[in-house]
Structure 1
């Protein structure tokens, strides 16, 4: 029975691994009572990225800033509920859509492509803006394929800490598993050959969230990367791909997830 469940979680994860942008928003920070700003950030190659910044209340403000780098499908509106819980605990969160996603500038993508280097360029533009705007340590909250962009970015530019769920340590392995289980060929950029080198440079503090039933981004990938910094930590939860926020809920949605981020932050910036 357990073997069948693991396989189902693996297949569920595989279906997430291909670029699939959605234009229509299903939620908005304006549906909450929190202050927010909507703006556009320009990339170095002149693409306009739709961006939402949501702020905590003055009395709860911890002066901590996170950039959300989601994965390969949907758009930023799919993460509003999680973001609002994080904001409610005192964080300022910068959300944005990659080119071709949501209301960001159009960009032609293939659904048979695992990821695009251009999305790292997008994340870099948002990081540059955020570093200029906020006088706090800057963290990236990266999910699934977003962890690839966060790793690549750190080899080119610096930020202060990384929260990584569904950590991708080997994009080529993802392609192999998709081929094996779904007989589907996925394309990856030529730069993938440099990913191992970029990963070796990921020396900033990282908090990994790993699901014990995640078929592709297995906990082993997070534990292997843990050695890169003595302050790195791994939070193992019972669940599949990107189910950490739900699995670590208690009195409120994502409670233990956010508490783990808080504890990690205090250990890194005492």
Structure 2
């Protein structure tokens, strides 16, 4: 029975680990009490990205800025509820859609490709925009596949800190796991051969959230990467792939998750 449940959990995490862009939005920051801006960000190869910037209330503003780099399916609207909880605790959050997702410019996405290098270009454009706009420390909050783009980007364009959940330590291992358990063939971009080099340069402070039942991006990946910077930390939670926000809730959704981010920030930058 235990083996069956373990396989079921692995199956559920793997089935969402595939490129699945959705154009329609299911939520919107305009439905909240917080001020927001809808902006268009242009990439260096001339793709237009839709972005929402959500601001905390003036009395709670910590002057901390996070860029959300989500995973491989849906669009940014699927994370609005989580982002609003973070904004409520004093953070400005910059959301955006990769090309081909949401209302960003169209881009042909093949579902048998694990990820595209172009999504790193998208994150690069958003980081550049955010750096120019906000005079704060700039953090990237990367989920699942978003951790690949955040890792690849850092050696090209440094930013201040990384919050990583479902960290990908080896894209080839992800392909092997999906093939073994789902008999599904996924391909990798040529740049994946250089991912280990990019990972070795990930020397910024990172707060890793790792699920003890994550069958796809194991906690071991986070622990191995942790040693690249002495200020990095791992938060191990009881749950599967990308279940940290739910698992670390308390009085409000994601309370202990957000508190961990704030404590990490304060220790890292000695506030």
TM-score range normalised by the length of the shorter chain: over 0.9
Answer with 6-15 or 217-226: which moved more: 6-15
Distance 2:192 2:9 in 1: 25
Aligned to 2:127: 127
* Counterpart for residue 262 of structure 1: 262
| 1:17-40 Cα distance to aligned partner (Å, 9 max, x none) | 211100000000000010000010
Rounded to whole Å, the distance in 2 between the matches of 1:191 and 1:62 is 37
Instruction: Compute the displacement of 1:5 (Å).
Output: 2.1
Tell me the TM-score normalised to structure 2 length.
0.99
User: 1:236: which partner in 2?
Assistant: 236
Structure 2, unpaired ranges of 5+ = none
Shift of 1:108: 0.3
Cα distance in 2, alignment partners of residues 188 and 72 from structure 1? 14
Equivalent residue for 1:143? 143
* Cα distance in structure 2, aligned partners of 1:205 and 1:191: 24
Quote the residue 2:152 is aligned against: 152
The aligned residue for residue 205 of structure 2 is 205
Shift of 1:4: 2.1
What is residue 180 of structure 2 aligned with on the other side?
180
Q: How far apart, in 2, do the equivalents of 1:147 and 1:60 lie?
A: 29
Count of residue correspondences: 270
Q: Where in structure 2 are the equivalents of 1:212-223 lying within 5 Å? A: 212-223=212-223
Q: What are the Cα deviations for residues 221-243 of structure 1, in whole angstroms up to 9, with x where unaligned?
A: 10111111101000010000100
2-structure distance, mates of 1:261, 1:9: 27
State the Cα RMSD in Å.
Answer: 0.6
Whether 1:52 aligns to 2:83 is no
Name whichever of 3-12 and 53-62 sits farther off: 3-12
**Residue of structure 1 equivalent to 2:25:** 25
CA displacement, residues 120-158 of structure 1 (integer Å, 9 cap, x when unaligned): 000000000000000000000000000000000001110
**CA–CA distance in structure 2, aligned partners of residues 155 and 16 of structure 1:** 28
SS of residue paired to 1:136: coil
* C-alpha displacement of 1:3: 2.3
- Indicate the residue corresponding to 2:101 in structure 1: 101
Structure 1 partner of 2:41: 41
Q: Deviations over 1:105-125 (max 9, x none)?
A: 000010111000000000000
Which residue matches 2:163?
Answer: 163
CA separation in 2, counterparts of 1:43 and 1:3?
46
For residues 209 and 224 of structure 2, what CA distance do their matches in structure 1 show? Answer: 13
Question: What SS class does the counterpart of residue 253 from structure 1 fall into?
Answer: coil
Supply the distance in 2 between the matched residues of 1:204 and 1:116 (Cα, whole angstroms).
Answer: 24
Name the residue aligned to 2:251. Answer: 251
Tell me the distance in 2 between the aligned counterparts of 1:245 and 1:198: 27
Task: Give 3-state SS (helix, strand or coil) of 1:4's partner.
Answer: helix
Distance 1:213 1:2 in 2: 12
Q: CA deviation at 1:182?
A: 1.1
Q: Distance in 2 between matches of 1:2 and 1:237?
A: 19
Q: Aligned equivalents of 1:124 and 1:18: distance in 2? A: 22
- TM-score, normalisation: structure 1: 0.99
